[in-house]
Amino acid sequence: MLDYKLLHALATVVECGGFERAGDVLGLSQSAVSQRLKALEVRLGQPVLIRHPHLAPTPAGQRLLTHYQQVQLLERDLRGSLPTLDDPAPRLRIAINADSVVTWWAEAIADICQTEGLLLDLVIEDQDVGLKRLRDGDVAACLCATPQPIAGARSLALGEMHYHPLASPAYAARHFPDGPSDEAFQEAPAIVFGPHDQLQHQFLAQCGYHGRFPYHLCPSSEGFIRLAAAGIGYGMMPELQTHALIESGQLVSIAPGQTLSVPLHWHYWRHSGNLVQRLTDRLSQVALT
């Protein structure tokens, strides 16, 4: 049988990114946390944590983390029928794209957070790579663009987010006076959210351009829009977030009529318990069009 005290130590080390911070959370010394991890590895006969060059779970450690998250959620359901058990506030670790966080997400989950006392641990990931977090056992659920669930999980289609290639009017007039062109794409700086962000590449491919382009990296949805409004670059921005700026004329499309639609799918483990199912039911009512 697994010692869940040891699994708890593993999960805390991974979430905190180190033994010292994990010890502070667990109320243990760094040495005691390390001993728990060693005991777990002795029990399994294989390592559960890669310590160098970066702290990360091994494949065996990832499977244990997935199992531990599912057990935590199932135990919460058990506490509902056995009220004498301790009932700490439930916490869900979810991988989600930044554009969802700053647009529709808060309104969609506000009620269930309040009624269930749910605490969220949001991991900001691009919608193209969030599923890796779930597969690695780092999160209990994720939002991503991939419809196909991984083994042991389910997926729910939530709809689509629509993106426009936007810039300030002055920037568009300076770099795209005649609209999109290969020459303009080669010279005009774009704004990209992060190294995994493929929206810009997809838009350029939609325009028939597959070459290199200059770009700024800005891993902030709010900062992304501020850079564009200041005339520093152009980029793909969600309609839900920029509608008012387009209406006021602060941002304009460099390719009028062209949009990019990105599907969003909610992925969660099949045996995650009633809380995740209630959250899923709530998200199924979200209308992203």
pTM confidence score = 0.75
pLDDT range class, residue 54, cuts 50, 70, 90:
confident
Please give the Cα distance from 156 to 115 (Å, whole number): 23
* pLDDT 10s digits, 230-243: 999 999 999 999 99
pLDDT tens digits, 134-187: 887 778 899 998 999 988 889 999 999 999 999 999 999 999 999 999 999 999
Question: What is d(CA 43, CA 36) in angstroms, rounded to the nearest whole number?
Answer: 11
Give me the DSSP letters along 45-88.
TS--EE-SSS-EE-HHHHHHHHHHHHHHHHHHHHHHH-TTS--P
Lowest mean pLDDT among 22-26, 56-60, 75-79, 216-220: 75-79
Could you read off the pLDDT of 66-116 as tens digits, one per residue?
888 778 777 766 666 665 555 556 778 899 999 999 999 999 999 999 988
Q: How far apart are CA 214 and CA 230, in angstroms?
A: 17
Of 85, 93, 73, 75, the closest CA to residue 12 belongs to 93
Mutual angle of helices 19-26 and 4-16, in 10-degree steps: 120
- pLDDT-derived band at 206 (thresholds 50, 70, 90) equals very high
